[in-house]
Amino acid sequence: MPFSSDEQPDPRESVLRERREDAVNGYLERTPAIYRSTIQIHPAAQRWADQKADTPPSLFLTGPIGVGKTHTAWQASRNWLGARVDRTGRMPSIETWRSTALFDALRPDNRDYDAKSLTRTLQRADLLYVDDLAAARVSPTGWTQERLYEIFDERYINRRPVLITCDVLPNQISHIVGDRVASRLGEMCRGGVLLLEGADRRKGGAAA
């Protein structure tokens, strides 16, 4: 039986769905293997991924080691991406970094990255995801903290969101990122600090 006018599928929706799937699959290829499995995330993290505000908020995932902050962040960022592929086919850009690798890349003597070029890239990305922000055993140099300030200040004034995982609260990271960055993160993530609780999942063989 032919479709009635009310039942005919909208080809634009099919194209949009394919674009979303392509975007998410492409991002999935960049995801570390241990975090590629689909998980159900905390409702607050899902609401963050789904929000369509013109000035989207940032999300700061905190909690003890091993409760699933990183797995939640990778899933939330995939969901965030899928919700934002528009009808023009534009793919929002996501920069993902472990904090220790980021701090190293921003050093002036790093031969693999140009710190100023990387800074511009991280300022302009649609979403910046930094994992395990307080992991560094040694605080970054003054130079690196200046680059971090340039990155987060630019994102702050242009209301570009960040996704952070950390085992301490935003007001407890000044010794790592500097007072100015900590202050901006505190405001960017106001209302978007999510505490994840539970036992260390790694001890049960799960990734977190």
Out of 108-117, 149-158, 193-202, pick the least confident.
Answer: 193-202
- Has residue 207 got a pLDDT over 60? no
The answer to whether residue 208 sits within a structural domain is no
Of 12-21, 64-73, 198-207, which has the strongest mean pLDDT? 64-73
Q: What is the pLDDT of residues 145-197, one digit of tens each?
A: 999 999 999 999 999 999 999 999 888 999 899 999 999 999 999 889 999 99
The answer to whether residue 100 sits within a structural domain is yes
Q: Which residues pair with 62 in a beta bridge?
A: 166, 195
Mean pLDDT of 20-33: 91
Structure tokens at 144: 């690196």
Mean pLDDT of 62-70: 94
The answer to whether residue 130 sits within a structural domain is yes
Q: In the prediction, which pLDDT does 1 show?
A: 46
Number of domains in the chain: 1
The answer to whether residue 96 sits within a structural domain is yes
Mean pLDDT of 45-73: 89
How far, in Å, CA of 8 to CA of 129, rounded? 40
Q: In the prediction, which pLDDT does 45 show?
A: 96
Domain range for 181 is: 11-202
- Has residue 3 got a pLDDT over 50? no
Who's near 97: CB < 8 A, 6+ residues apart?
A: 105, 122, 128, 129, 130, 131
How far, in Å, CA of 186 to CA of 68, rounded? 22
From 113, 111, 93, select the one nearest 102 (Cα to Cα).
Answer: 113
Q: What is the pTM of this model?
A: 0.87
Better pLDDT: 75 or 1: 75
Mean pLDDT of the chain: 87
Q: What is the pLDDT of residues 130-149, one digit of tens each?
A: 999 988 777 778 889 999 99
CATH number at 138 reads: 3.40.50.300
Confidence band for 89, pLDDT divided at 50, 70 and 90 = low
Better pLDDT: 17 or 58: 58
The answer to whether residue 5 sits within a structural domain is no
The answer to whether residue 15 sits within a structural domain is yes
How far, in Å, CA of 25 to CA of 19, rounded? 10
Who's near 122: CB < 8 A, 6+ residues apart?
A: 95, 97, 128, 151
By the 8 A CB rule, do 151 and 117 touch? no
The answer to whether residue 6 sits within a structural domain is no
By the 8 A CB rule, do 48 and 81 touch? no
How far, in Å, CA of 208 to CA of 201, rounded? 6
The answer to whether residue 46 sits within a structural domain is yes
Better pLDDT: 62 or 9: 62
Out of 24-28, 72-76, 183-187, 200-204, pick the least confident.
Answer: 200-204
How far, in Å, CA of 129 to CA of 207, rounded? 18
Helix (H) or strand (E) holding 186: helix 179-188
